[in-house]
Amino acid sequence: MTILLPGTLTDAYRMLSDDPDVTPVAGGTDLFAHWPENRVKQSTTYLDLSGLAELRSMRWTKSELVLGALTTYWDVVTDARVAAEFPNLVTAARQVGAVQIQARGTWAGNIVNASPAADGVPVLLAYDATVRLGSRDGVEDIPLDEFYLDYKKMRRRPDQLVTEIRIPRRTYQRAWFEKVGPRKSQAITKVGVAVTVAGETWRIAANSVAPTVCRCPALERYCAAVAGAKGQPLTSPSDLLPAIRSDVSPIDDIRSTAEYREQVLARILFHALNDAGV
Amino acid sequence: MKRREAIDKLTGREAYIDDIAIAGVWWGCTVRSAVPRGRIRDIRFGAEIDWSEFVVVDHRDLPGPNQVAMIENDQPVLASDRVRHIHEAVLLLAHPDRDRLREARRAIHIEIDEEPAIFDYRVPPPADTVQHGGDNVFKRVRIDKGDVDAALVAADHVVEGVYETGAQEHVYLENQGMVGYVEDGVVTVKGSMQCPYYIHAALRHALARADNEVRVIQAATGGGFGGKEDYPSVLALHAALLALKAERPVKILYDRDEDMAATTKRHPARVRHRTGVTSQGRIVAQDIEVLLDGGAYVTLSPVVLSRGVIHASGPYHCDNVRVEGRAVLTNAVPFGAFRGFGAPQTIFACERHMDVIADELGMCPLGLRRKNLIQDGQSTSTGQVIRDGTDRIEILDRAVRDAEFHQREAADRAFNSTHPYLRRATGIATFYHGAGFTGAGETYLDSRAQVVGLATGEVEIRTANVEMGQGALTTFVKIVAEKLAVEPDRIRVAEVDTFHVPNSGPTVASRTSMIVGRLLERGCDALCATLGGDWTGDKFERELLRWHAEHPGQELIAEVRYEPPPGVEWDDERYEGSAYGTFAWATYAAHVEVDLRTFGVRLLDFVAVQDVGTVLDEVLAAGQVQGGVVQGVGWALMEECQFVDGAMANHNLTNYSIPSSDDVPPVRVVFYETPYAHGAQGAKGIGELPMDGAAPAIVNAVARATGARPAVVPLTPEVLMRVMGSA
């Protein structure tokens, strides 16, 4: 195992472009799980980002909340302003692993680990977040919604580093996030869903129900229509199933079943909509 | 009294086998089969490794028979020509560097010609999968009391049910680990274990050595739950074989993945009930069939089956009982001892079935139980007459009162009728657990313990029973300190080392405090007898010092042997008589909330009421109950061993979930203390009982909350969704 220690962001960009096999590491909570049996991980060269002060900040602009690449879940949990304006971020962060993981794990790391079960990603998607990638060649902004291509595949070149996550500031009427796991805490998600409503615009993003965490456009349209009294009122969870089936493709795996994931997604949304008077 | 090893554990000073540095030690690892059944054709050693650096052990290196000595010696220490399960040990490697060892393991290819295997214990084995006897049955057990067939015909109602329980992983905090070395010609192993003399016997047998040529020492043990009852014999043999061939100490430590994949689990079980009842709810016939998945080798399955069968009819009186039990072979990693030892499986079935009977009769489940609970003078399924003075009805009523069963029933009904998706209810289970070895087991064990009067005026306890987190060390000291009325710090406990402590039997079967504790009390008596009087306190110490002054250089050892309580007789052929010296009795109540969106079950409250005889230490006893309940919650709701070709696919803590502290409310523990004349200070067994009650109480609550009839644990949300879909 080799660890590269860049002094500056410029160093980091150079190291990444010199060797396309370098893996950037922030908190390490995903990369170092199952250590040391995994030989692939043992022979990897890591780029340690933890010393890069440029990536550490979490800041507010007039129009955005900007999470630096080293912003941890805990940074968000402990920020009252985030809780007030983007409550879903706090709700999701509190359900990632245990406090130790929340204190080390980063939002950017959660994005690039690209797990379909990532707990940080649905809420970012539902808040329309954008990923900023930096490299020696400059910066590139990609909407998170367009970032994933397929299972563990994303629009990040090996020489690029996620430097920021930018979340637009809007007025939301509603925001909720539900995570269903095998137990109350320290669990990997079987099915999860984040929802925001801004005016008539619905954003619904789900995890563990497709090869990537994904937006659910059919569900968004369906819910917006029902809420705007343009559609049939909801009578049962199964009303949502056609939209769910067009948006997601759950599978049977070691953690749950396709049928369960689909049914529970429908039931959570149905009751959430009911609670909201939709 | 302060817990003996508390400070060492809290400060991290306690040295587990992984912490003990040994000069010149090499690391050992195991090369395992990747297929469930077949003939070993070839073993190829990759050319990329310099094998001269390694010590390689195979079945030919065994000095004695290639057998792990246990009930039947059918399990090889290392597979020779065939394998019977995935992860079966074939080769052992040792090397000074652990990374090189991992690389070497990956460079070995065991080629096996696969043969047909069987994985479903519930189906009759196809002829080409028969591997044990003529029918793959490891053990049959049958209880026959009265005339079941006639009673079923005469009964007003016959209620049937089939119940299934899954495997369970122990998840002791400390993985299995053992070091082997040869010292002055003595093969010595040291590690994490519950039963040093089981290991001693296994080493003597397979290494063909005399009693005094093998030595077993227990290191601090971070949890066992039965997982360190039988498996450490295998691991100790592996460490010893490597040490013999390497001519240096060799340590084998399993990581969590290997530990969960390759070591034993709780036996999966299916239990069928056919119960005859009168219209008033009197049980008149119990016809029960118990089937256990034994896995690929016999290990402890016969005795697990035995305990399961004896507990299958529950703590109820019935004149006509038939229980037919079988443990069968499958090509799964062998199942083994786990807290409760067969009883949790059959008690789940019995207690779930009681609620189904109550449903069918339109009776209250409490009333049905009150009507049938054994009363003093009545007998169990084996004809053992219970006359222990325990108020079993009061235990039930206390649980009902503390759980506010009736008040909550009304409140829950109101809640359930208005809440869009949450449903609440309380469920209960009444049960018993026999303490100590089954039948004549304790007599066969012939346990010995020593109480030694030291020349310093202190007293030393010598037993082979281990501290593994349950508090045995503290309890032993307390028993002796109170018996002799001396300060606990004047009492030492000898290291568990077969060179220094007698065989007081294994640390299993809820027997340690009750049986070995009682031996220590008798040991104190014997010591005092040598000192010429019934001394206590300062007087005792003075007499002890005087004895040593009169016998300079001599040891004052009082050794006592187990004696069965009078009137305890057991017929192992007919399964009749006193199955256990005594039983602990309990009623547990679980208040749950089912989320109909996710089919998740949340535990809101848990009340555990039991009579375990005299409580020797309130804190330790409550800890046993709470821990057992939590283990039961996991088994009931989330701990699912997913088997693929007989091996656990989710053999890691990422995908095998045990309850977190968020999943369990405070467990409210109540003790009744009806003393048992033959246990230390009147104690009965406590360790396993709490594992029995949580699953049926919880699943009964889920049934009452939802109106569905779940009959399976673990009742995962996915399973409950299916049950409710078909309800």
Sign of CA dihedral B436, B437, B442, B448: negative
Among B596, B662, B718, beta carbon nearest to A260: B718
DSSP string, A62-79: SSEEEEETT-BHHHHHT-
Q: What phi and psi, each to the nearest 5 degrees, are found at residue B467?
A: -80, 125
Average confidence (pLDDT) over A264-273: 96
Under the banding of pLDDT at 50, 70 and 90, the label for residue B418 is very high
d(CA B634, CA B661): 11
Contact between B43 and B90 (Cβ < 8 Å): yes
What's the pLDDT tens digit per position in B361-396? 999 999 999 999 999 999 999 999 999 999 999 999
Strand order in the sheet with B556-561: B491-493, B459-462, B448-453, B556-561
Q: What is the DSSP letter of B51?
A: G
| A233: pLDDT strictly greater than 50 | yes
Which residues on chain B are in Cβ contact (under 8 Å) with A270?
Answer: 597
What's the pLDDT tens digit per position in B514-559? 999 999 999 999 999 999 999 999 999 999 999 999 999 999 999 9
Percent of chain B surpassing pLDDT 70: 100
Contact between A172 and A197 (Cβ < 8 Å): yes
| B119: pLDDT strictly greater than 60 | yes
d(CA B646, CA B106): 22
Most B CBs within 10 A among A42, A180, A260, A271, hence the mutation to make, goes to A260
d(CA B305, CA B288): 13
B107 touches chain A (CB under 8 A): no
* Residue A220 parent element (H or E): helix A217-227
User: What confidence score (pLDDT) does residue A275 get?
Assistant: 83
Burial class (CB in 10 A: 0-12, 13-18, 19+), B518: buried
Among B421, B600, B718, beta carbon nearest to A271: B421
Contact A259 B721 (CB under 8 A): yes
> Which CA distances in Å does B670 have to B95, B149, B151, B402, B515?
53, 40, 38, 9, 23
Which residues on chain B are in Cβ contact (under 8 Å) with A180?
Answer: 598, 600, 717
Q: A174-275: which CATH number, 2.30.40.10, 3.30.390.50, 3.30.2010.30, 3.40.640.10?
A: 3.30.390.50
Which residues on chain A are in Cβ contact (under 8 Å) with B663?
Answer: 183-185
B653 touches chain A (CB under 8 A): no
Domain map (residue ranges) of chain A: 174-275
User: What confidence score (pLDDT) does residue A1 get?
Assistant: 83
Among B102, B257, B642, beta carbon nearest to A254: B642
Domains of chain B and any CATH numbers: 6-115+170-262 (3.30.365.10), 269-438+574-726 (3.30.365.10), 447-561 (3.30.365.10)
Average confidence (pLDDT) over B697-702: 98
User: What confidence score (pLDDT) does residue A57 get?
Assistant: 86
Burial class (CB in 10 A: 0-12, 13-18, 19+), A277: exposed
B422 touches chain A (CB under 8 A): no
| ipTM passes above 0.90 | yes
Average confidence (pLDDT) over B683-702: 98
Burial class (CB in 10 A: 0-12, 13-18, 19+), B345: buried
B48 touches chain A (CB under 8 A): no
Among B597, B652, B659, beta carbon nearest to A268: B597
> Which CA distances in Å does A103 have to A75, A97, A121, B282?
8, 10, 17, 59
| B727: pLDDT strictly greater than 60 | no
User: What confidence score (pLDDT) does residue A44 get?
Assistant: 86
Contact between B54 and B97 (Cβ < 8 Å): no
Q: HSE (CB half, 13 Å, CA atoms) of B50?
A: 4
Counted across chains A and B, CB pairs separated by less than 8 A come out at: 69
d(CA B315, CA B31): 46
Among A260, A276, A145, CA closest to A213: A145
| A42: pLDDT strictly greater than 80 | no
Contact B598 A268 (CB under 8 A): yes
B391: left (phi over 0), alpha (psi -120 to 50) or beta: beta
d(CA B382, CA B310): 7
Average confidence (pLDDT) over A20-41: 81
* Residue A121 parent element (H or E): helix A120-126
What's the pLDDT tens digit per position in B564-622? 999 889 999 999 999 999 999 999 999 999 999 999 999 999 999 999 999 999 999 99
Q: HSE (CB half, 13 Å, CA atoms) of B524?
A: 27
User: What confidence score (pLDDT) does residue A100 get?
Assistant: 94
| B702: pLDDT strictly greater than 90 | yes
What's the pLDDT tens digit per position in B207-244? 999 999 999 999 999 999 999 999 999 999 999 999 99
Contact B597 A256 (CB under 8 A): no
> Which CA distances in Å does B572 have to B140, B266, B303, B385, B438?
12, 24, 12, 17, 10
Burial class (CB in 10 A: 0-12, 13-18, 19+), B553: exposed
For residue A184, the distance in angstroms to the closest alpha carbon of chain B comes to 6
Residue position matching structure tokens 């009137």: B567
Among B596, B649, B660, beta carbon nearest to A186: B660
Average confidence (pLDDT) over B433-441: 95
Among A183, A274, A275, beta carbon nearest to B659: A183
Residue position matching structure tokens 């690029």: A160
For residue B687, the distance in angstroms to the closest alpha carbon of chain A comes to 26
Angle (nearest 5°) at CA B165 between B161 and B170: 160
Average confidence (pLDDT) over B162-171: 98
Most A CBs within 10 A among B598, B599, B601, B715, hence the mutation to make, goes to B598
User: What confidence score (pLDDT) does residue B510 get?
Assistant: 95
User: What confidence score (pLDDT) does residue B2 get?
Assistant: 87
| B157: pLDDT strictly greater than 50 | yes
Q: What phi and psi, each to the nearest 5 degrees, are found at residue A139?
A: -105, 155
Average confidence (pLDDT) over B7-33: 97
Which residues on chain B are in Cβ contact (under 8 Å) with A275?
Answer: 420
Contact between B630 and B664 (Cβ < 8 Å): yes
What's the pLDDT tens digit per position in B243-258? 999 999 999 999 999 9
